[in-house]
Chain A
Amino acid sequence: DVKVTQSSRYLVKRTGEKVFLECVQDMDHENMFWYRQDPGLGLRLIYFSYDVKMKEKGDIPEGYSVSREKKERFSLILESASTNQTSMYLCASKENTEAFFGQGTRLTVV
């Protein structure tokens, strides 16, 4: 069974902190994605990666960076967390036509 695992379900961080959100998939997929979901805005793509050490900016990359050192792991980094980064963060991996999502991380920046 397909599995995408995000390291935390809920996180509370302070403004200015460096935040790491981890995502691991066990399907050997090449493509991995980070989205954020906000009310009324749907899922917005932050970054995606189509191979190890490869990354592409999505629609809203500002304030974020990513790391893909191994195929199964895709990390989202908030260099200096701000309150407008409070959101639900969703990781996905994809092969061919279907994307599989993790359970989401609800991040609150105070």
Chain B
Amino acid sequence: DQQVKQNSPSLSVQEGRISILNCDYTNSMFDYFLWYKKYPAEGPTFLISISSIKDKNEDGRFTVFLNKSAKHLSLHIVPSQPGDSAVYFCAASDVSNQFYFGTGTSLTVIP
């Protein structure tokens, strides 16, 4: 059963606007969340993370919000750029040392 879900397989946004990618999880024991970005034919690269003791983490154009009560996190990219076009994976981890990945959201930023 999928413990981390990304319900939007794709998203298109105009350049300069905000991109919002969503992720839901079911396991309340997850204590760390990450976003990875993946270009075709390359491995995922780490983008931003957040610990469960926080509700927001910001790094330049990227902000991750965590709502523990709703078991929901989101990634905001503002302003969106064409180079942001990629597949974004949400991931969660617990004390088991494993990562649990969502199915990914393909973001297209239209120039």
Contacts and interface: CB of A to CB of B under 8 A. Distances in A.
A48 B99 CA distance: 10
A33 B43 contact: no
A39 B93 CA distance: 22
B89 A43 contact: yes
A108 to B, nearest CB: 13
Contacts of B49: 97-98
Interface residues of B, number: 23
A24 interface: no
Interface string A10-37: 0000000000000000000001010100
A103 interface: yes
B98 A102 contact: no
Interface size class of A (residues with CB under 8 A): 20 to 34
Interface in A20-75: 31, 33, 35, 40-45, 48, 50, 58
Interface stretch (B12-20, B56-64, B75-83, B100-108): B100-108
Secondary structure of the A contact surface, majority rule: strand
Contact of B98 (A4, A45, A100, A103): A45
A71 to B, nearest CB: 15
A61 to B, nearest CB: 13
B43 A42 contact: no
List the 10 shortest-distance A-B pairs measured between CB atoms, nearest first: A101-B43, A42-B103, A43-B101, A103-B43, A104-B43, A101-B44, A42-B101, A102-B43, A42-B104, A97-B32
Given A43-B104, A104-B43, 13 more contacts: A40-B9, A40-B103, A41-B103, A42-B89, A44-B101, A45-B98, A45-B99, A58-B98, A94-B99, A97-B34, A99-B91, A100-B46, A103-B42
